[in-house]
Structure 1
Amino acid sequence: MTGPSLDRIRAAQAALAGRVIETPVLPLASARWDGILPDCASVTLKLELFQQAGSFKARGAYLGIAGLPEVERSKGVVAASGGNHALAVSWAAQAAGVDALICMPRATDPARVAGCKALGATVTLHDDMASAFAAMNAAADQGRVLMHPFEAEHMILGSATCGAEYLAQAPQVDTFVIPVGGGGMISGMAAAIKQLRPQATVIGVEPVGADSMTRSLAAGAPVRLDHVATIADSLGAPLAMPMTFAVARDHVDAIVTIDDGEMLRAMDRFQTILRITAEPACAASLAAILGPLRTRLAGRHVGIVACGSNISLARYAELMRASDV
Structure 2
Amino acid sequence: MIGITGIEAAAERIAGHVVRTPTVPSPGLSALLGVPVTAKLELLQRTGSFKARGAVAKLLTLTEAERAAGVVAVSGGNHGIAVAVMAAALDVKATVVMPRSALARSVGIAEEAGAVVRLTDGMDGAFALVDRLREEGLTLVHPFDDPVVIAGQGTVGLEFAEDAGELTDVLVSIGGGGLISGVAAALRARRPGVRVWGVETKGAESMSRALAAGGPTPVELSSIVTTLSAPAVSRLTYEMVSELVTEVLVVPDREAVAGSLEFAEHAKLWTEPAAGCLLPAARRVVERVGDGARIGLVVCGGNAQAGDMAAWTDRFGLR
Question: TM-score scaled to structure 1, two decimals?
Answer: 0.93
- Which residue number in structure 2 is paired with residue 105 of structure 1? 99
Distance in 2 (alpha carbons) for counterparts of 1:12 and 1:222: 26
Task: Tell me which residue corresponds to 1:287.
Answer: 280
SS in structure 2 at match of 1:193: helix
* Aligned residue among 223, 234, 250 for 1:257: 250
Q: Does 1:247 align with 2:260?
A: no
Deviation at 1:33, TM superposition (A): 5.6
Residue in 1 that maps onto 2:288: 296
2:123–2:230 CA contact under 8 A, matched in 1? no
Is residue 61 of structure 2 the alignment partner of residue 63 of structure 1? no
User: 2:181: which partner in 1?
Assistant: 187
**Alignment-derived partner of residue 123 in structure 1:** 117
CA contact (8 A) 2:26 2:267 kept: no
Superposed CA offset, 1:22-73 (max 9, x none):
111221234x863x21x32x11111101111111111011011111111111
What SS does structure 2 have at the residue aligned with 1:255?
Answer: strand
Residues 92-146 of structure 1: per-residue CA shift (max 9 Å, x gap): 2112211001122233322111101121212123333333323222111100001
- The answer to whether the Cα contact below 8 Å between 1:81 and 1:103 also exists between their aligned partners in 2 is yes
The answer to whether structure 1 residue 156 and structure 2 residue 154 are counterparts is: no
2:171 to 173, 177, 192: 177
Q: Which runs of 5+ in 2 are unaligned?
A: none
Correspondence 1:1-325 to 2 at 5 A: 2-3=1-2, 5-30=3-28, 34=31, 36-37=32-33, 39-40=34-35, 42-225=36-219, 227-290=220-283, 292-297=284-289, 298-325=291-318
Give the distance between the partners of 1:229 and 1:105, measured in 2 at CA.
13
Cα deviation code 1:193-251 (max 9, x no counterpart):
001121111111111322221122233222221x1221211111121210111111111
Q: Deviations over 1:279-314 (max 9, x none)?
A: 110212222113x32312421211011101212222
Check conservation: 2:199, 2:249, Cα contact below 8 A: yes
**Structure 1 counterpart of 2:248, one-letter code:** I
Give, in whole Å, the separation in 1 of the partners of 2:130 and 2:233: 19
- 208-217 vs 19-28, which moves further: 208-217
SS in structure 1 of the partner of residue 95 of structure 2:
strand
- Percent same amino acid at aligned positions? 37
